[in-house]
Structure 1
Amino acid sequence: MVSWTIAGSLAGEPAVSRPDLLAEPVVKALALLPDADRVGVVVIDPELADTAEFCAAYGSPLSASANCVVVSGRRSGEERLAACLVLATTRADVNGVVRRRLDVRKASFAPMDTAVELTGMAYGGITPIGLPAEWPLLLDGAVARAPELVVGSGIRGSKLLVPGSLLAALPGAEVVEGLAR
């Protein structure tokens, strides 16, 4: 039995039973996960989807939230993309660790339109579950070790509740110590 205690005043339910609360790529990815029953979902006000607002409104600890950002860089005319997952109390080291991992001269956050188009998810709701398979998913070590985290669901009207170990086991996931500052 999963308790999903980090959602503050919200009651979690199994994400697989609520595809209406998930972006299509997330639904498809959950169907392939052996431990999908460990992923919870909560309904939220879409206006409160940004991490700080969500935590303040629902009483979820900021330290139990993780943010997923899409990063891009170019090498020899080829665009290289990755997703980074760090605790909300930190920031991804985009121009250090991520730039070196992508082997590009300069890395930056992907433009909003690009991130939304390529992920099939809403801006502000992008989540590591259901990302394009060819992208590396870089997770800070603190994310991988977290017993439970709040992350996006692919839409702004809900959040996922998921163990860090499950995120670290996603296809393409790499735990990168020092990814976050």
Structure 2
Amino acid sequence: MTLHWVPAAGRTDLLAEPVARAIGQVEDARVAEIDPELADTAAFCERYGVAMGDSANCVVVAAKRGGEVRYAACMVLATTRADVNGVVRKHLGARKASFAPMEEAVELTAMEYGGITPVGLPADWPILVDTQVAEHPEVVIGSGLRRSKLAVSGATLAGLKGAEVLSLSV
């Protein structure tokens, strides 16, 4: 099965509500409908013939300091993982950082687990984009829903409001 990419602004029915509201800020975004059972990166890449190195994951991190929790999104290629306890924790000035629990991530983003994307996140969240993602000509990311994916340039992700480019991967 191949992916049928169309301009995302014309298919907001394939986007979670906060993503649909923000998609106008991502001019080059294209969307493709997929089988929601295949939304997880490895299954998606295998079924649709997308290289893992062309897919980027958005992980929600909860950073804690002095009883206060601050959230951030980290974008890393599917072939790497984010250095949450090192680079991310230090960058956010936290004593402790960990992946946000699934229920919390879903509630705070108003997106489906397995489809969380940096487009349409709460405005006060930093978006930490790994240098490998920022330099990529095009990556496949979540759409906020498990039944579709977005394709955008790394430069577009690096240019999102609140985005910072760092070397995040280990």
TM range (shorter): over 0.9
How big is the alpha-carbon RMSD for the aligned residues of Structure 1 and Structure 2? 1.0
Displacement of 1:110? 0.3
- Listed one character per residue, the Cα deviations across residues 105-161 of structure 1 (whole Å, up to 9, x for unaligned) are 111000111100110100000001111110100000010000000000000000000
Q: After TM superposition, list the pairs within 5 Å mapping 1:20-169 onto structure 2.
A: 20-31=13-24, 33=25, 35-36=26-27, 38-169=28-159
Instruction: Kindly state the Cα deviation for residue 47 of structure 1 after the two structures are TM-superposed.
Output: 0.2
Partner of 1:3: none
State the percentage of identical aligned residues. 62
**What amino acid does structure 2 have at the position aligned with 1:62?**
M
1:166 alignment partner, SS class? helix
For residue 11 of structure 1, report the CA deviation from its aligned partner.
Answer: 1.7
Matched, 1:175 2:142: no
Structure 2 residue identity aligned to 1:18? R
State the AA in 1 paired with 2:144.
Answer: G
For the residue of structure 2 that corresponds to 1:69, the secondary structure is strand
Q: Per the alignment, in what secondary structure is the counterpart of residue 104 of structure 1?
A: coil
Deviations 1:154-176 (A, max 9, x none): 00000000000000000000000
TM-score (norm 1): 0.92
**Aligned residue number for residue 7 of structure 2:** 14
Secondary structure at the aligned position of 2:155 is classed as helix
Point out where structure 1 has 5 or more consecutive residues left out of the alignment: 1-7
Maintained 8 Å contact 1:9/1:60? no
Which residues of structure 2 form unaligned runs of 5+? Answer: none
CA distance in 2, matches of 1:133, 1:112: 20
How many Å apart are 1:76 and its aligned residue?
1.3
After superposition, the C-alpha distances for 1:92-114 in whole angstroms (9 at most, x for unaligned) are 00000011011111110001111
User: How big is the shift at 1:9?
Assistant: 1.8
Count of residue correspondences: 170
